[in-house]
Structure 1
Amino acid sequence: MASLEPARGEYGAADIERFVPETHSGARSDFERDRARVIHSSGLRKLAAKTQVLSPTAGIDFARNRLTHSLEVAQIGRELAASLGLDRDVVDAACLTHDLGHPPFGHNGERALAEWASDAGGFEGNAQTLRILTRLEAKRFSETGESAGLNLTRATLDASCKYPWALSEAPAGSGKFGYYPDDAPVFHWMREGAPARVKCAEAQTMDLSDDIAYSVHDFEDAIVSDHIDPLILTSRSGHDSLIADVASWADGSFTHDELSAAYDRISATPTWLTRWDGSRRHQAQLKNFTSDMIGHFARSAIAATRESAGGAPLARYGASLVVPKAIHAEIAVLKGIVAAFVMASGRRQPTYRRQRALLAELLETLWEGQDRDLEPAFQADFAAAADDAAAKRVIVDQVASLTDQSAIAWHRRLCEVPLV
């Protein structure tokens, strides 16, 4: 579909405001400056050594990591933004930041940190992203000497927020939230004028881009790494069991029939693989399948959104992104297949348990040592902590900042008893 011109005129003074006021010279727009700050951040670079689905420490050198995933999300998001009349740089920057808060070992590591910090506000990767952008990634300071992080514009910061609510306001059973209590001031500043609990159109676009990239690229990686055999997928034997596993992963969002129909539509795609031998021909077919799925998902959302908006501008809270339920079901099928064959696979569970145990032991060792083994920036935060909850948050910040490899190295150095 033809692209609309970026709607810069639909972004006002409040959208380009920063928590700590700045003045600039040069031709770059405020949103272009935001994107550049994210690209040059250490947090983005660290994503190169953090787990997407298959850990960078697993010896599989072609699998995606959090950085390559974020780049792919940003590419999808930028093209969606162009087609929907949203600012490309706002959506691009939001896509690049969306996984900054992920700790070592991906969602498995997130679970370990949440359990350890359950008495100090918990842990959530998206809340940690806001904390990184507004506090931990040093770029600007207030007049009183407090870090404002990258000090992004209100529009870009809001676009990075998937869950605009606190833990106490999270939907029952979800555990997803967007900020910790001590980050409330900047969160409420960011959300000035926004409808309660509603994501802006740019954040919705980032979220869809993440879902699209996650579903197709993790599926691709799982086939290339031999975690999924296309022959099993095309066999009707065990098909109902597979759909049941997908339905379980989707938390009851779809019926068995809806997911089965979605699976049939996906498998009818001309580029769907019926077998895999690693040949260049099969590599090309798999790559073209992922391209076909991305295009199909994106075009469907663009068409449905334009029809719903009726010509109204989407920028910020002008209108909402619309994704047909059938497309959500197809995305859920691809995600669920990967979950069934990789994340929920019995052979992966011992690895996941070891990863969680490693992080729990590292957290406890750092806590017992107080600020002795922390990096200098976190030592200062620990010294300034007003109570135990604030001090535990610093320990969590430190461990969450580590990559998979550095978490293993820190554990080896601090937790393993040296041989005498």
Structure 2
Amino acid sequence: MDRDLRTQRRDDAAESAWPDLADGNPFRADRDRIVASPFFARLGGVTQVVSAAGSGLLHNRLTHSLKVAQVARAISDRLLSAPDAAELIGKFGGLDPDVAEAAALAHDLGHPPFGHLGEQVLDRIARHRFGLADGFEGNAQTFRILTTTDVRGPSAIGLDLTAAVRAAVLKYPWTRLHRPDPHPRTMPNPPRGAAEPPGAPGTGSAKFCAYSSEIDDMVQAREPYAVVLEPWQQTIEASVMDTADDIAYAIHDIQDFHRIGVLQHAPVATELGQWLEHALELATMDSATLAAQTRRPGRSLELLRRRMHVRDSWIVDDDAFADAVARVRTELVDGLLADGFDGSIEAEQATAAFSARWTTRLVGGMVVLESPSTRSGHVTLRAAQWHEVAVLKFVHRRFVLLRPELALHQRGQASLITTLVDALDAWVGDRDEESRLPRRLHDLVELAHTEFSELAATAPELLVGATGERVEGQDAVQGLARGRAVIDFVSSLTDRQAASLLDALSGRSSQPWSDSFVL
């Protein structure tokens, strides 16, 4: 690592560390502070894909985060032991396993009730109902928790984490619309997540890691890396965390749905087998025909291959894709899924062996690139493993996420969140009841009002509505603050808390009060 950068990281860490934690190791102190946060504890009650509802068979956001941290440390140890990677790691800012692990533990703190479904609903409400141009984004909410809304750091504003850990959490180191300038969404081949959502021009990046209220925190965290990284590039430790998240997601969610009998042998075997058998024929079909025939085996997988060529031409390779499909069929279809899961010792051992084998293979496929594509960080997977992760994630999406039963369940959850936001917004706006608001919601309203008032005074160009118009006047500023506070409050609930709070607000609960909504 460049000597000045090493010194800057160490000095920053020494200034922000708690001296009585982790034997003076500031990055371990950061990790311990994250684990001690109630925002971390609440992840045990937040959906990963479907609600675990107390089941020991499904991951929730907490167990997922623990496994991402485990994989991140394994990746760090492997890269640091590889002589060919060490020089490049130092050149681009360094890699500390404690930093990567802390970022992995923190990466899902901002996930709202009901996981990604809740994220989509809150974003829509934030933009369309409250006029918040930043909307809601789970990664940006994570950064807001770490720097602003958690109060357990020495300054009682955020967690006072080191710049290295805060930068490592920024897997998408830009805001939705404004920073950095020029914004990465305008690049010819934007970084992953930076492009605007299809069909929503003018709304800003689909993924981002900081709201306008946390721009200064993002800039300060990234400042030590300005001489070695482009503004839109992940730090080495952020790339490790991001890839560890992909690996854990690809393996453990498949493992979950095998265990509960949702992921069945026959449809997966048919999809992969038909593509392997008819790949040349499918390659000649036009995309419109394929899209109209996605229920026919092999078509969806062929569409994936084509999307990969469009998005990731820097690494996609048809031979590597075919090899990945063949390996997944052998390992997953002919191996894990062939015998089903019956709860026996043998079934448990087979599931554990599948997870361990794939984790070892994918962690072993990590490389450090000197000049990566804009679609990749400096740390990434080799081509073979990269394609394998893509196919594993395809299996999960095609045979779990797109199931009608899940869509039925999620429509109810979307309705619950929407109704809850409406009820809380009405309460915040009721002057006769203002003094009886939940104390945390009251404090969040005051915090957001302070933040938006400061933006109006010091950076009015950042204070725009969802349609891009300048927001002016105290009433408008108060309206944005109220919306951000309600969104902050709802997003900090567990699945069960959200349902229980709506029951209470709807008069369906017999309990006169509860402290379960105080975070």
Q: TM-score, normalised by structure 1?
A: 0.86
Residue 308 of structure 2: SS of its match in structure 1? coil
Task: Give 5+ residue unaligned stretches, structure 2.
Answer: 81-94, 178-182, 184-193, 198-204, 276-295, 310-315, 372-376, 454-476, 511-519
Amino acid at match of 2:398: A
The answer as to whether partners of 1:48 and 1:67 remain within 8 angstroms in 2 is yes
Amino acid at match of 1:196: P
CA–CA separation in structure 2 for the residues paired with 1:16 and 1:63: 42
Amino acid at match of 1:160: V
Match of 1:396 in 2: 487
- Using the TM superposition, give the Cα deviation of residue 37 of structure 1 relative to its aligned residue in structure 2, in angstroms: 0.4
The 3 A distance-change label for structure 1 pair 226 and 249 is: farther
1:84-103 matches, cutoff 5 A? 84-85=79-80, 86-103=95-112
Determine whether 1:350 maps to 2:412.
no
Determine whether 1:138 maps to 2:148.
no
The 3 A distance-change label for structure 1 pair 347 and 94 is: same
- Using the TM superposition, give the Cα deviation of residue 285 of structure 1 relative to its aligned residue in structure 2, in angstroms: 1.4
Q: Which moved more, 1:20-29 or 1:174-183?
A: 20-29
Match of 1:300 in 2: 365
Match of 2:290 in 1: none
Q: Which moved more, 1:32-41 or 1:132-141?
A: 132-141
Task: Give 5+ residue unaligned stretches, structure 1.
Answer: 1-5, 311-318
1:282-297 matches, cutoff 5 A? 282-297=347-362
**Residue 150 of structure 1: which of 159, 162, 165 is its match?**
159
The answer as to whether partners of 2:258 and 2:264 remain within 8 angstroms in 1 is yes
Amino acid at match of 1:175: A
CA–CA separation in structure 2 for the residues paired with 1:44 and 1:222: 24
**Residue 339 of structure 2: which of 266, 269, 275 is its match?**
275
Determine whether 1:230 maps to 2:268.
no
The 3 A distance-change label for structure 1 pair 236 and 377 is: closer
- Using the TM superposition, give the Cα deviation of residue 148 of structure 1 relative to its aligned residue in structure 2, in angstroms: 2.6
Match of 2:300 in 1: 245
Q: Which moved more, 1:173-182 or 1:216-225?
A: 173-182
CA–CA separation in structure 2 for the residues paired with 1:25 and 1:70: 26
Match of 2:215 in 1: 184
- Using the TM superposition, give the Cα deviation of residue 164 of structure 1 relative to its aligned residue in structure 2, in angstroms: 0.3
Match of 2:249 in 1: 214
* Number of equivalenced pairs: 397
Match of 2:36 in 1: 40
CA–CA separation in structure 1 for the residues paired with 2:441 and 2:2: 40
The 3 A distance-change label for structure 1 pair 251 and 234 is: closer
Match of 2:51 in 1: 55
Q: Which moved more, 1:199-208 or 1:9-18?
A: 9-18
The 3 A distance-change label for structure 1 pair 69 and 105 is: same
Larger gyration radius, structure 1 or structure 2: 2
Question: Percent of pairs identical after alignment?
Answer: 30
Residue 172 of structure 2: SS of its match in structure 1? coil
Root mean square deviation, CA, Å: 3.0
Amino acid at match of 1:400: S
After superposition, the C-alpha distances for 1:58-109 in whole angstroms (9 at most, x for unaligned) are: x644211100011111111111111222311101100000100100000000
CA–CA separation in structure 1 for the residues paired with 2:500 and 2:60: 19
Residue 252 of structure 1: SS of its match in structure 2? helix
The answer as to whether partners of 1:47 and 1:403 remain within 8 angstroms in 2 is yes
1:364-403 matches, cutoff 5 A? 364-370=422-428, 372=434, 374-384=437-447, 385=449, 386=453, 387=477, 388-403=479-494
Residue 322 of structure 1: SS of its match in structure 2? strand
After superposition, the C-alpha distances for 1:300-335 in whole angstroms (9 at most, x for unaligned) are: 11xx33xx469xxxxxxxx92132233222112111
Q: TM-score, normalised by structure 2?
A: 0.70
The answer as to whether partners of 2:252 and 2:355 remain within 8 angstroms in 1 is yes
CA–CA separation in structure 2 for the residues paired with 1:360 and 1:237: 39
Q: Which moved more, 1:280-289 or 1:349-358?
A: 280-289
- Using the TM superposition, give the Cα deviation of residue 141 of structure 1 relative to its aligned residue in structure 2, in angstroms: 5.8
The 3 A distance-change label for structure 1 pair 61 and 248 is: farther
Match of 1:65 in 2: 60
Match of 1:106 in 2: 115
Residue 133 of structure 1: SS of its match in structure 2? helix
CA–CA separation in structure 1 for the residues paired with 2:215 and 2:111: 20
Q: Which moved more, 1:71-80 or 1:337-346?
A: 337-346
